[in-house]
Structure 1
Amino acid sequence: MSEPTIICPNCKTEIKLTESLAAPLIESTRRDYEKRLAQKDTDIAKKEESLREREAAVSLATQAIDDQVAEKLLLERAKIVSEESKKAKLALQTDIDQKARELAELQDVLTQRDVKLAEAQKAQADLIRQKRELDDAKRELELTVEKRVQDGLSATREQAKKEAEEGLKLKVMEKEQTIASMQTQIEELKRRAEQGSQQLQGEVQELELEALLRGKFPRDTIEPVPKGEFGGDALQRVIGPLGQPCGTILWESKRTKNWSGGWLAKLRDDQRTAKADIAVIVTQTLPKGVESFDLIEGVWVTHSRSMLSVALALRHSLIEVASARQSLEGQQTKTEMVYQYLTGPRFRHRVEAIVEAFSSTKSKRS
């Protein structure tokens, strides 16, 4: 194998590259490469340090972003809690205001009851006083006649007596008739006084019924039943959303310890006389088997605690029936169709569904 050669750059002479000549070159080249390698290691170390610094900066930035997001979440959660608290306070205040209005209405009813009681007591006292005055006047009249007869001369005694009797006879008859009339009134007053609180309670219950209906349905016309015309306590004339009359409900309030089946037939007769579409009895004592309300022999019977729910359902159904009456032409007489519906099972089930929905909503609000 031939030895390697190099060309002299100056004289262009080919020189054999012996070990003695190559050693310095190799050493110089080795040192140069080691120096370059050390420089590479330094550069790589600097790059690694820069990379670590950049990673630390990214970590700090990520942590700052996480902190900002957490802070925003806390602020939004506090805002939501504040808004919901305001809504709850507003709903509570609205409910309190409604209860206050209902309490004021009941207080007005009690005030009216006290006024009626005072008027009845005053009327009784006036009648007793008038009777006493009439008795005194009659006795005074009799004494006056007797005195005039006794004081007259004996010659004219009979004439004087006759004149006195004739002159006072008419007045005596008028007084006696007045006394008899007052006696009848006093007896009637005594009878009413014996009934006492029961009648007053009935009147108060009628007023409460009218007040509740007016408060719940201000658009409708609530009329007390005129005394002596027919039975029942109040007529509710239902007015639709467009101001159109939609039907009439006859209400009767009972406050007794026992239920009477005779009330049903009596109120049906009153319903026909009043030309009402629906008849309702509000009672503290329900028939056996009835928990809160039911349709019995064509008459709705409800406890006072369910009265407004039943009234709402009946009124809503009357408005619907009034709207549907136009489509009944040519099938049967309108009156017959409406009566069959109002006293049939479909109407009853509809009313029950409306009452249940209303009661459920009211329970959730409470």
Structure 2
Amino acid sequence: MTKNHITCPKCQTQISIGDAIGEELRKEYEQKLISSLEKTRAEVDAKIRQELERKSKLQLEALAAMLAIKEKELLQAQQNELEMRKQRAEVEAKEKRLELELLRKLDEERKALEESVAKRITEDYHLKIAEKDKQLTEIARQLEESKRRAEQSNSRIKGDVFEEDLRAFLKKKFDGDEIEAVDKGKKGADVLHTIFYRGAKIASLLWEAKNTVTWQNAWIEKLKEDQRANKTEYAILVSKVLPSGASGNFFIREGVFITDDLEIAYTLAYTLKMHFIQLHEMRLTLSTNDENLKQLFDYLSGTSFKQRIEVIVERLLKLRENIARERAAMEKLWAQREGDYQKILLNTAGLYGEIKSISNDKLPEIAALELDPSSGAAHEI
């Protein structure tokens, strides 16, 4: 080892003393430089950190201020929203109250209008029905009058011919009796048949001839009136048409003999004539000493007693018919009133149900309009 060199204790390398001192100085300088740099860097970092902290603090303060403003604005907005919701709720509640009041008023007005319209419609309907009925009645009357005139003209011709045939037939069959035609327009049917026996008048028959296509029950009543007016024992109606329900060619209705066959009519008249002859002979055989008995027999076998009994029986039968007719009319009226009652009850219950539904079941209960759970029907009122 020379004087200008030293050995590195670590690596045993020979190092020049000049170089070693220079290196050491360099390292020392570098160390100082590094320390100075680090100090400068630390100072710079501290300044930067301070600046950053200052700026961050300012930013945080600004953000805090902004946040406070935002929170204040949010709070105000929430308060505004709450106020708006409150106002909206009040408006909606007011609208609902107004709507409910309006609905109630509309229901009242609708009910009044319906009643008014129903009343007006009913009045108009009844008026129109009455007018139509009047028109139809007038048309029907005119048609019936025209038909009656036409039928009258036709029936008069046919009736006259049939009446002539009947009179000729009776004259041929009963040549010993008196067969008279009743004058037109005079009460007394068509033919008055007076029965004679051994020159004495013993009885009389009243004949009516009808040659039409339709039957009329009024013929019987008229013929009976004519019979009473002429005081004949019996009345016989010979008609080409018989009433519906008639069985056979011969029957008796209200004391009037009715047939559509001239031969049957002859047999009937001949039988009646034989009956009158027998009564006449019995009357002749009574002793003149039994005058009261003879008078009683004459009365009981005479036309007057027979007609009085017939009138009494007819009035009783008509009284029974009137009672039956009145009973049927009352039952019909009761049924109609029951129907009106049911309609009123159902309409009232329906109206109550609609109003109750609109008010969300807030109406008070009306027991009479509630359904009976056992029958499903409304209680009787």
On whether the aligned pair clears a TM of 0.5, the verdict is no
Q: TM-score range by the shorter chain?
A: 0.3 to 0.5
Q: Which TM-score applies when normalising by structure 2?
A: 0.36
Q: Which TM-score applies when normalising by structure 1?
A: 0.38
